[in-house]
Amino acid sequence: MRAAKSEYLLAALRNIIKTKGLTYKELAERLGVPLSTFKRHLYSPNITLEKLLDYCQEVETSLEELQKLAIKLQHDNDSFFSHTQDEIFYQFPQLYDFYRELRHLRQQDSYTYMRKKYGLNKSSTYAYLRALEMLGLVKLAEDNKIQLVGPFYYRFSENSKLSHKYKTILKAQALDNPDCVRVGFSRMYLKEGQLEELNKLLAKEILKYHSENMQDNETEKDLLRNVLLFVTQHQPLVFSEGIGALPHSFLQDVKTAIARCETSGA
């Protein structure tokens, strides 16, 4: 059995605690540790094996069972941003915009490309990349070579702040577009199951047309569309006011925010 990452072992432990109807306060009292310390341990990737075994025993589960659940969680969530990654990107949206563009570049020298495109100095470029390295999303080499870490596509989790922000921006773009083509009906009697069928039919037809155009090499930029039961011309969707120079405190601010996430799990 391959080993699960520590963050998924902890997620599995929190899942077991919730499933068994236990509370953090109750467990902390039984273990004789402050509640704040116990909560910090449940989100700290640096938790010791001895401490993890103690907590497994307290919730009446084995390390093997914890590992099995952690492997499943890891498999199901490997393409999602972690809670910490999502929170940091939400707090520092320009970092997310930088990362998203970096992942889709085809240039071999993406370091030079990003510097040149956004007029960044060496200090700001390094700060962007070092922050992403702190989040476990890139690896930096001495010659400014950048190695991306993880799957090519990431998804937002159900409770992701980024997901909510993405939907908000996308809806604003669509509704504010004066040239959007809308399909509107009023006073239609439709059951929930019928609405689900309409969703499936629409998705099937859209994907069919998309696949046909891809096969025919009809991939011009002006054909890109956002489809939300109405159609708009595609616009680049960014979370920040732009990728630009960063303050000298940026890396320390990110480091502090990461520590806060891992300490509180908030």
Q: Is residue 143 part of a domain?
A: yes
Predicted TM-score (pTM) of the model is 0.56
Q: Is residue 1 part of a domain?
A: no
Confidence of residue 230 (pLDDT cuts 50, 70, 90): low
Q: Is residue 58 part of a domain?
A: yes
Confidence of residue 212 (pLDDT cuts 50, 70, 90): confident
Residue 225 vs residue 107, higher pLDDT: 225
Contact 152, 119 (CB under 8 A): no
Q: Give the domain range for residue 140.
A: 83-154+241-264
**Same domain assignment for residues 68 and 19:** yes
**Same domain assignment for residues 173 and 63:** no
**Same domain assignment for residues 165 and 148:** no
Q: How many domains does the chain have?
A: 3
Q: Is residue 65 part of a domain?
A: yes
**Same domain assignment for residues 144 and 33:** no
User: What would the pLDDT profile of 129-185 be if each residue is shown by its tens digit?
Assistant: 999 999 999 999 888 888 888 766 677 776 788 888 888 887 777 777 666 666 666
Neighbours of 172 (CB within 10 A): 11
Residue 266 has pLDDT above 60, yes or no: no
Measured distance CA(104)–CA(98) in Å, rounded: 10
Q: Is residue 62 part of a domain?
A: yes
